[in-house]
Amino acid sequence: MWLEDYKYKQMAYIINKTDGTAVTTITDGTVDNTTSLQLFGKSFSGFGEGLNENLVKLLENAASTAAPTAPLKGELWFDTTTNQLKVYDGTSFKPTGGAKTSSTQPTSPSAGDLWHDSVNDQVYVYTGSAFLLVGPVYTSGQTLSGWKIETLASSGGNKVVSSMYVGNVRVAILSKETFTPSASQSGFAEIRAGLTLNSTLGAVFEGSSTQAATLDTTDTTNATSPGEALQGGANFLRSNTSDTMSGALTIDNDTGIIVGDAQELTISVSSNDVTVAQTSQDKDLSFTINDGGVTKTPIALTGATGAIGLTGDVTVTGNLTITGEFENSSSEINIVNDAFLKLNTGNSEADSGIIVETSDTDDARLFYDVSENRWTAGEGATYSHLIRDTDAVSDGDANKNSGFLRTTAAGLITVTNVNLAAVGTDITSSTSESSVAVTTTGQVAKSLKLWGGSTITDDGSNSIAGNRYVETSAPTSGQGADGDIWFVREA
């Protein structure tokens, strides 16, 4: 039994960290220096001094100029060189946070360190490369300067404003609404929506303003002398430079608009009639457009002559009335898309048509002859009626000199007689049958004489032996030869 108890008493200490992993094993009667503190084994005599020193080190967080040896992750150390409390992250000791107060920047800072500048009463943060001011933006010597968020009481409730201070004096108040403070605010009897300046300072906006929504909207009339404040009451335009406006411009008088260094262009109104005038003598008035990047002048009014020049296509909706001649100097063909052109509209009945200028008397004309109710054409003052389909006939024998011929439905025409000049050629061979020319009576007679292959001289008798026979009866056996022609005539 004694042996068992002794064996138990001789067992070594196994020291574990918070996460359960073993730091070291301490044999009975020994001191372990694996960590920054002394760890005592069972039955070690004289452990009291070392234990007390461990407690002191814990109290002072191992305050020293040198970091503890063999530190454990999470161990604290107060660096007496920088007067900073640091923690071991498993690799090195890092500042635990908080600000260091001094008149000069701390040495060997780490990113995230705060420094309170005791001279200017300002706080800085170290970015890893330099100290950056956190605030305030003014030093203790400058006193309150810059924007400060404040709450001011009013009859309509508390109002949150942003006050601008310079040297601890409130210069302006920025507010989202207009109100009167319940408590007196020096220089601010009323606070308006926007930026209100301290009235006791005579504060004004100095410099050039490139844009202003309104100027003193408490009044709507402009100043009458240079020393007075400009009171526009709304947007205004500059008179000495180019300007732009997004709304409509209304000029409420009949004299209208005058443009040009010599007042050349005017737009005016008289009895509700509008006049656009070019007032300079013999000067033009042009209307231009941008056609695909090219400047074109579709309308040009010539001041010296009063002429109107139109460039491009012109569409007229309604009637176009021309007093004077219509001239076209171009050689192009005029194209009219309408199906009909109506001439002499609204006038008493008169001959009307088209005249083409020629060297002949009265030129060449195509016109409607009112007295004849017929279309007439001609030149040199000699005219004739145009042929109409209703004037055509198919029987020329019954309707002599009354129109022109056309075929019947069967393709026939009738005439009293037809005289033909010599056309085509004599029928002299079998190939002559391909000719479509009209033959004369003489050519037909000649072809008969050539029927036998040679020309027959007619001796005036009723028959010519061997070639042609003209008899009152049919030939009998033995009469004629191959190729002969036999005519039977009436007795």
Mean pLDDT for 362-371 is: 88
Calpha distance 49→253 (Å, rounded): 109
Whether 158 is covered by a domain: the verdict is yes
With beta carbons less than 8 A apart as the criterion, state whether 98 and 83 touch: no
Whether 213 is covered by a domain: the verdict is no
Tokens of 146: 């810059």
Calpha distance 63→79 (Å, rounded): 6
Strands across the sheet with 374-379, in order? 352-356, 364-369, 374-379, 382-385
Tokens of 167: 């040297």
With beta carbons less than 8 A apart as the criterion, state whether 76 and 87 touch: yes
Residue 331 is given by DSSP the state -
With beta carbons less than 8 A apart as the criterion, state whether 254 and 270 touch: yes
The SS3 of residue 214 is: coil
Whether 170 is covered by a domain: the verdict is yes
Of 310 and 245, more confident: 310
Model confidence band, residue 190 (pLDDT cutoffs 50, 70, 90): very high
Calpha distance 85→75 (Å, rounded): 11
- Residue 381 scores a pLDDT above 90: no
Pick from 20, 41, 59: which residue ends a domain? 59
What are the tens digits of pLDDT across the range 228-283? 445 444 446 667 777 777 778 888 899 889 998 888 999 999 999 999 999 999 99
Phi, psi angle pair for 208, to nearest 5°: -100, 130
Tokens of 385: 């009626």
Whether 294 is covered by a domain: the verdict is yes
Residues forming beta bridges with residue 378, ordered by sequence position = 365, 383
Calpha distance 460→469 (Å, rounded): 12
Model confidence band, residue 457 (pLDDT cutoffs 50, 70, 90): very low
Mean pLDDT for 94-102 is: 77
Pick from 169, 197, 225: which residue ends a domain? 197
Whether 120 is covered by a domain: the verdict is no
With beta carbons less than 8 A apart as the criterion, state whether 67 and 82 touch: no
Tokens of 348: 């008493």
Whether 406 is covered by a domain: the verdict is no
Please give the pLDDT value at position 452: 46
Model confidence band, residue 178 (pLDDT cutoffs 50, 70, 90): very high
Residue 141 is given by DSSP the state T
Instruction: Write down the residue that tokens 């029987």 correspond to.
Output: 395
Q: What single-letter amino acid sits at 188?
A: F
Calpha distance 100→144 (Å, rounded): 23
Residue 446: which domain range? 430-488
Number of domains in the chain: 4
Please give the pLDDT value at position 83: 81
Burial class (CB within 10 angstroms; exposed 0-12, middle 13-18, buried 19+) of 113: buried
Calpha distance 198→192 (Å, rounded): 12
Whether 203 is covered by a domain: the verdict is no
Q: Considering all CA atoms of the chain, what is the largest pairwise distance in Å, rounded to the nearest integer?
A: 194
Q: Is the dihedral of CA 469, 475, 479, 480 positive or negative?
A: positive
Out of 170-174, 258-262, 276-280, 458-462, pick the least confident.
458-462
Residues forming beta bridges with residue 300, ordered by sequence position = 286, 309
What are the tens digits of pLDDT across the range 40-61? 888 888 888 888 988 998 899 9
- Strands 463-464, 352-356: pairing kind: unpaired
Provide the terminal-to-terminal Cα distance of the chain, rounded to the nearest Å.
191
Residue 402 CA neighbour count, 13 Å, CB half: 11
Q: What single-letter amino acid sits at 454?
A: S
Instruction: Tell me how many helices (H) and strands (E) the chain has.
Output: 3, 30
Whether 459 is covered by a domain: the verdict is yes
Residue 333 is given by DSSP the state P
Out of 43-47, 195-199, 332-336, 360-364, pick the least confident.
332-336
Average pLDDT, the chain: 81
Q: Tell me if the bond preceding 136 is cis, omega within 30° of 0.
A: yes
The SS3 of residue 390 is: helix
